Homo-oligomer: A and B are copies of this chain.
């Protein structure tokens, strides 16, 4: 039998009674990456929500055998909590160790900020924290909504290598973006054409 794939077939999406897109289909193998592009409002985030099971399809099928890590537009950090406490909380839910947390912090150069309350982090530092949370979740399929937004050059490089490593380990990436992410040879999907 063949390895498992993420299979999406003839997918249609409605938001607020309006058909946002339809006839979207693709297949993604382990190690693969899909880069989703399109104008504002084309339905990129909606597609990600469908893949994550956060939204019900208006038509078509999604066959996703993989565990999912989610980085949406919101960074989802509680202001009062320290960065470390936040990551530990999610790591516990994902059954990951403290070592994994430290590794993720280091991966996005956040180690020095670990004790700061999230309310004082800068926008890029927050985004990096959200990426760190996904990278330590251990999930195979990463769903990233404009992951490079607000990142400085160094962090974008880190993101690129992190994504490459993840794919190297057989992980899958579906990333929405308006600018290159440094994914090598990604499949491309343009919505709203």
Q: Which of A26-34, A82-90, A149-157, A159-167 contacts B (4 or more CB under 8 A)?
A: A149-157
B151 close to A40 (CB less than 8 A): yes
- Within 8 Å by CB of A41, from B125, B146, B153, B179, lies B125
**Copies of this protein chain in the complex:** 2
Q: What is the size, in residues, of chain A's interface with B at 8 Å between Cβ atoms?
A: 27
User: A116-132 CB contact bits vs B (8 Å, 1 = yes)?
Assistant: 00001111110010000
Q: Which residues on B sit within 8 Å (CB–CB) of A178?
A: 124, 150-153
Q: Does A188 contact B (CB under 8 A)?
A: no
A182 → B minimal CB distance (Å):
14
Q: Which residues on B sit within 8 Å (CB–CB) of A81?
A: none
Q: Which among A39, A128, A146 has the highest number of chain B CB atoms within 10 Å?
A: A39
User: A11-51 CB contact bits vs B (8 Å, 1 = yes)?
Assistant: 00001100000000000000000000011110001000000
B149 close to A15 (CB less than 8 A): no
Quick one: given A73-B123, A120-B16, are A39 and B150 in contact (CB under 8 Å)? no
- New A-B contacts (9) at CB < 8 Å, excluding given A123-B145, A123-B146, A150-B178: A15-B120, A39-B152, A40-B123, A40-B124, A40-B152, A149-B149, A151-B178, A152-B178, A179-B179
